[in-house]
């Protein structure tokens, strides 16, 4: 008789090349529902809200919603690994992340960061989960007006002088989503943080540069408990100075430079995924008929689209 098996497992951190992270709006009441976020919750055993349950039932009967057409790769937009195993890949590359902006401005419990000025650092803000990063885990993060975040650093560094990452001249535990000399005093901008304990989002929206008040950029960092980091860029204008995109560890001796330049060759609606290359699974495989655990069961991972 054909055996029927059920698989119950918790996804801790899937290998970089197969994991497709949640990429679009979370689902508090009144917000758009994202297929990738709902699938992430289902796979992680997280309870769904009624609207999410209805959405998932529709997906099961009608199939996954159509995705926007992918842009073809214009260069080899991937890099790494660093010594620890972190790699990055962008949305111009086959197998890269999809760009899908998460607008947190109307979410419940969004933190509008007040008092943001020229060269200021804010926080720390509670992530609501333990985030694995290199050899450490962090449950809070700091937010700098100059386009970077750190799990520990409270300075406001902006002048990277074309340093490559890793660098002891730049903050430890650094997420440099767009490090340059931004200046809110040149006309505002919006600075936000939000978490629902399954995802944390830091957004810099419509922020001006110190030299060019009309050169506005909008970008964000997305973190999920499995260790995935995603940078997204909604608005880009060419700058007179360079900006740095990359990341590095606590000892400032491991990390990667992703981009240095004035933004002239970056696209809007652009995304970068950063993830460690290794992962593991824990859980139990049981027989559907007997509900008994099966020893030595083989587990096959799909590419995240099935």
- Each residue's pLDDT tens digit, 57-76: 887 766 656 444 333 333 44
CB–CB of 118/185 below 8 Å? yes
pLDDT at 269: 96
Average pLDDT of span 69-95 = 75
pLDDT at 49: 85
Name the more confident of 24 and 96.
96
Please give the pLDDT value at position 53. 83
Query: What's the pLDDT at 240?
Result: 75
Which residue has better confidence, 18 or 269?
A: 269
pLDDT value of residue 190: 94
Residue-level pLDDT at 182: 92
| pLDDT tens digits, 229-239 | 999 999 998 88
Render pLDDT for 209-260 as a digit per residue (tens, 0 to 9).
Answer: 988 888 899 999 999 999 999 999 999 988 878 889 999 999 999 999 999 8
- Global pTM reads 0.69
């Amino acid at each position: 008789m054909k055996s029927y098996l059920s698989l119950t497992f918790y996804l801790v951190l899937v290998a970089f090349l197969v994991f497709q992270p949640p990429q679009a709006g979370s689902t508090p009441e009144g917000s758009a529902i994202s297929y990738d976020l709902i699938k992430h919750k289902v796979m992680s055993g997280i309870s769904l809200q009624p609207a999410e349950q209805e959405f998932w039932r529709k997906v099961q009967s009608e199939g996954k919603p159509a995705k926007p057409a992918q842009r073809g790769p214009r260069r080899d937009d991937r890099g790494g690994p660093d010594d620890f195993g972190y790699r990055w890949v962008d949305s111009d590359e086959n197998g890269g992340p999809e760009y899908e902006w998460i607008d947190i401005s109307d979410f419940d419990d969004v933190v509008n960061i007040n008092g943001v000025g020229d060269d200021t650092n804010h926080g720390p803000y509670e992530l609501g989960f333990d985030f694995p990063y290199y050899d450490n885990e962090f449950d809070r993060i700091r937010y700098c007006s100059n386009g970077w975040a750190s799990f520990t650093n409270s300075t406001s560094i902006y002048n990277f002088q074309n340093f490559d990452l890793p660098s002891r001249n730049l903050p430890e535990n650094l997420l440099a989503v767009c490090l340059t000399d931004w200046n809110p005093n040149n006309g505002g901008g919006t600075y936000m943080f939000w978490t629902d304990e399954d995802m944390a989002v830091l957004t810099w929206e419509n922020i001006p540069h110190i030299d060019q008040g009309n050169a506005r950029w909008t970008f964000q960092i997305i973190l999920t408990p499995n260790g995935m980091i995603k940078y997204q860029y909604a608005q880009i204008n060419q700058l007179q100075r360079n900006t740095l995109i990359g990341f590095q560890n606590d000892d400032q001796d491991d990390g990667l430079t992703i981009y240095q330049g004035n933004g002239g060759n970056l696209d809007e609606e652009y995304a970068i995924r950063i993830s460690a290359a290794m992962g593991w699974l824990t859980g139990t495989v049981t027989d559907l008929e007997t509900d008994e655990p099966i020893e030595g069961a083989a587990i096959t991972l799909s590419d995240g689209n099935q």
